[in-house]
Structure 1
């Protein structure tokens, strides 16, 4: 069944600040960086910031779980006169790809005309995402996690990674290949935090943080802001850039995954997964497409093992075959490509190597790929997949199409 809103809306503007190593963005503030990214997105779209009349957040409007966005404050900061739509997806980074879908809902309901999705991240030394659960006040959930040493997202994901290794023979060599393959895409990116080629020796000598995940299997901890602007396809004709059509978008997930991320109580094979199968099936049902139709995949990579599991959940390879698929060079920008059954993954370097703004850079890269303006442009890219999560539900997926 074709999605009722297919290609009726588009992302028409993208903007970003510089990217900073964690804690190095001061004396900038959250509102400063968010406002800067929004203004740049407006300039990219060729609209005035005063034309923005909608906000579609995710992460419960949380700025990296450490601060909160407030529509009224951003309106005052930017001089936006009126807003007729302001909404947010719950949960965390799993909503980044789904937030433009929330914008579509407002636009198709004629509540608004130009909707901005923004994420800004700023971490103080005493407030680190990597140990967010360990630093939280005890509650029914944390009382299980904290004594077990599961103090951050990486520790939780490491258990799922180890289970995948146990069930399917997955190796750390595959995790290394994911990090190296996406690192190879940052050498020509001016804003990227990690640009140097990653050698085998450097990877194997990286400190183990949560077995089997070493430090280089963890995403960067960075500061900065990214914004995108969504409007109707009809209105996009008056914008500056070619529209990136929203061909499909979905968010949600299954109960089993929601339990696994924090409670570790789900059965196999769900346990050793990214929790994206439900969302993937919705995208394919909305479009009649499959993973083989995607020209580029921007997969949320807060931890390397989760890229491998998403490749399985979206159908780029079968369950349990992610290890061999990755080691076959199939995710490399200069790899086998579609003719060989592969797909370039995270051509911008991703959360592991470019920066971590809780998934928004993946949406920006998807836009630039279908525009044909990406730094590492995939030839004749027509369809780009971007994902949000694995994280506590909802997780999300977005397919953008070249106009």
Structure 2
């Protein structure tokens, strides 16, 4: 058995679950998490007592033992947490899948639960009297929020490649159109035009309101088990074909401006290792779920994962490639910009729905998908297939 065949297609996502999505929900993060996990287990047809592996984010406020006790899990044999917020969901799934592929555990659950609508839960809302960690390289210069840091990158990209705000708008417009066809999306009843995008208030030049993710509450859960077991389960499996995490040499979180090439982000490191393992390359991917806390991250990821050349992503998107009927539909439920913001967990559930053939905006013949996480942090990605 080679290094890659030890993991390739050995595990599958067999259940997904979610709560309602809203700007603000009354339930606690624990309650939301339990509801989403229970729904995912019901979707898979797996009893909670069979779960013996858990994966979540370091930013998750509910500890594993609370989840296990409230849902009636048995003894756990594997549990892990992945850092860096928007960079974490694929890593959390991949680590649980590796444990199952190696025989350490049999049934895994990965979840993300958030009360983002509560301002006290927003990690960027606080002000530190003194900065002595890695943020000292950016915060004193006025880059006080992630949107400011991504805006600097987008302005550089526009300078280098002649990209325009009208081209950038194509990301938000495509995803809003998908959301308008998704009954679960927060923006389902709010269409967007190019003029409304261009007229929106500026948040951090050149990024306007609609280039930013939503602030929302909700929870999502994913169930993973061995591929050999799926014949006994309720739902069609979605195979985890390849997985990698990645971080560039001497990475600086969010503001990797000092690097030799700031546009070869951690996504570049992840992509090279991901495609090395995969029998499916960028040209064979039917649709992509690309992390989109800010719309420029979609452009940067399109290039890093090899869907277009350097400096070509803005024109690629503006030409309709990522929209309905395009050559590479992207974020087909509306993504973080227009469906819900749960650190990209909704990108995974939408990938599963597409590969099952039951998505609201179904891509014809969808058999393969890339799911990626945050371009500007240490991150991860998955190749999923039917």
TM-score of the superposition, structure 2-length normalised? 0.94
The answer to whether the aligner puts 1:371 opposite 2:356 as a matched pair is: yes
Q: Which sits farther off after the overlay, 302-311 or 143-152? A: 143-152
SS of residue paired to 1:386? strand
Alignment root-mean-square deviation, CA: 1.8
Partner Cα separation in structure 1 for residue 214 and residue 129 of structure 2: 21
The answer to whether the aligner puts 1:250 opposite 2:244 as a matched pair is: yes
Partner Cα separation in structure 2 for residue 56 and residue 155 of structure 1: 31
Q: What are the equivalent positions in structure 2 for 1:290-305 lying under 5 Å apart?
A: 290-305=281-296
Partner Cα separation in structure 2 for residue 126 and residue 371 of structure 1: 36
The corresponding residue for 1:340 is: none
SS of residue paired to 1:246? strand
The corresponding residue for 2:324 is: 333
Query: Where in structure 1 are there 5+ consecutive unaligned residues?
Result: 338-342
Partner Cα separation in structure 1 for residue 302 and residue 131 of structure 2: 35
The corresponding residue for 1:25 is: 25
Partner Cα separation in structure 1 for residue 128 and residue 36 of structure 2: 29
Deviation string 1:21-64 (CA, Å, 9 cap, x unpaired) is: 1xx112x1011000000000001001112211110123x2x23x
Partner Cα separation in structure 1 for residue 132 and residue 201 of structure 2: 30
C-alpha change, 1:124 and 1:217, in structure 2 (3 Å) is: closer
Deviation at 1:263, TM superposition (A): 5.4
Asked if the contact 2:253/2:376 (under 8 Å) is kept, the reply is no
Q: Which sits farther off after the overlay, 160-169 or 297-306? A: 160-169
SS of residue paired to 1:184? helix
The corresponding residue for 1:6 is: 8
Q: What are the equivalent positions in structure 2 for 1:132-171 lying under 5 Å apart?
A: 132=125, 134=127, 138-171=131-164
Deviation at 1:150, TM superposition (A): 1.6
Asked if the contact 2:80/2:92 (under 8 Å) is kept, the reply is no
The corresponding residue for 1:102 is: 95
SS of residue paired to 1:173? helix
Asked if the contact 1:274/1:306 (under 8 Å) is kept, the reply is no
Asked if the contact 1:3/1:248 (under 8 Å) is kept, the reply is no
Partner Cα separation in structure 2 for residue 142 and residue 260 of structure 1: 8
Question: Would you say how many aligned residue pairs link Structure 1 and Structure 2?
Answer: 383
Q: What are the equivalent positions in structure 2 for 1:174-185 lying under 5 Å apart?
A: 174-185=167-178
Deviation at 1:296, TM superposition (A): 0.6
SS of residue paired to 2:244? strand
Deviation string 1:284-305 (CA, Å, 9 cap, x unpaired) is: 1111432110001000011101
Query: Where in structure 2 are there 5+ consecutive unaligned residues?
Result: none
Deviation string 1:218-258 (CA, Å, 9 cap, x unpaired) is: 011111000000000011221110000001111122125x2
- What is the aligned counterpart of 2:262 among 254, 261, 271? 271
Deviation string 1:325-375 (CA, Å, 9 cap, x unpaired) is: 11111111223x2xxxxx011111100000101010001111111111111
The corresponding residue for 2:373 is: 388
The corresponding residue for 1:286 is: 277
Deviation at 1:164, TM superposition (A): 0.9
SS of residue paired to 1:127? helix
The answer to whether the aligner puts 1:227 opposite 2:254 as a matched pair is: no
Q: Which sits farther off after the overlay, 33-42 or 49-58? A: 49-58
C-alpha change, 1:365 and 1:307, in structure 2 (3 Å) is: same
- What is the aligned counterpart of 2:105 among 112, 125, 130? 112
The corresponding residue for 1:310 is: 301
Deviation at 1:273, TM superposition (A): 4.8
Asked if the contact 1:182/1:347 (under 8 Å) is kept, the reply is yes
Deviation at 1:324, TM superposition (A): 1.3
The corresponding residue for 1:80 is: 73
SS of residue paired to 1:138? coil
Deviation at 1:3, TM superposition (A): 4.3
The corresponding residue for 1:91 is: 84
Q: Which sits farther off after the overlay, 300-309 or 131-140? A: 131-140
